[in-house]
Amino acid sequence: MKRGQGIFIKICGITSVKDARVCVDAGVDALGFVFYPPSPRAVTAETVRSIISDVGNDVVFFGVFVKESPEEILRIRDITGIEVAQLHGDESREVVTALRREGLKVCKALFAKRKPFFSDVNLYFCDAFLLEAGRSGLGGTGEEWEWREARETTEKIISAGGFALIAGGINPENVGHVVRGVMPSGIDVSSGVELRPGVKDERKVRTLVEKVKGVFHETRQGSTG
């Protein structure tokens, strides 16, 4: 996971080859697959293996897990080829360590309104952090929130050489506000680019990507002007 020459864009909740191709063609950097059965976007390891096989290696593949055992996560990694385990529950540091020891990158979710909080960032040694609204339930809520709540933690992560993704209610209409206000390493979007849960809207995906690229070039020119 590298920020490279732009803001890293991850589209989560991918459930089909069609949607995966839409996102890759639009220019996203990563696809996320949800391995949490209660979610309307949940997929099986076999489905993800098929999608990854079709898409190829042009993007980074995330698997989203909630309170899952390291053994099961690694089993799914071996079947599918996911490269990053996104941990969206209250997983311990030991789980992170066990996964990274087996060569799997880890992205740990931190939340504004529930544990683990943004302030718990120092408890984990992982490859990336996802800062989520987390107002209720498990996983993402799709709710827009006060982006300034994440600015301090984002700056702390990035200044230490880390990688910080922002999530929670991001869509094509507000993504410019999010990027300008927080300046994260990347964004994570799911419901904000959907027709309905688990089905992406090609127009929204392309609009989001175009706006993110536009804001990045705008801010880069401003810093060098």
Residue 105 — φ and ψ, nearest 5°?
-70, 155
In angstroms, the CA 175 to CA 216 distance is 11
Q: Report which of 3, 109, 115, 132 is spatially closest to residue 63, judged by C-alpha positions.
A: 109
Full-prediction pTM beyond 0.85? yes
Q: What is the pLDDT at residue 178?
A: 87
pLDDT in tens, 30-67: 999 999 999 999 999 999 999 999 998 889 999 999 99
- The reported pLDDT for the residue numbered 145 is 59
Banded pLDDT at 130 (limits 50, 70, 90): very high
Nearest Cα to Cα of residue 118 among 137, 136, 131: 131
Q: What is the predicted pLDDT for the residue at 128?
A: 98
Q: What is the pLDDT of residue 162?
A: 96
What is the overall mean pLDDT for the chain?
A: 90
Tokens 């076999």 correspond to what residue?
46
SS3 letters for 36-103? CCCCCCECCHHHHHHHHHHHCCCCEEEEEECCCCHHHHHHHHHHHCCCEEEECCCCCHHHHHHHHHCC
Letter for the amino acid at 34? V
Q: Which residue has the higher pLDDT, 15 or 143?
A: 15
Residue 133's pLDDT band (cuts 50, 70, 90): low
**What is the number of alpha carbons within 13 Å of residue 21 lying toward its C-beta?**
6
pLDDT in tens, 65-109: 999 999 999 999 999 999 999 999 999 999 999 999 999 999 999
Instruction: State the pLDDT at residue 89.
Output: 94
Residue-range domain boundaries for the chain: 8-224
CATH number belonging to domain 8-224: 3.20.20.70
pLDDT of residue 5: 63
- Mention every residue, 6+ apart, whose C-beta is less than 8 A from residue 97: 125
Indicate if the pLDDT at residue 203 is higher than 60.
Answer: yes
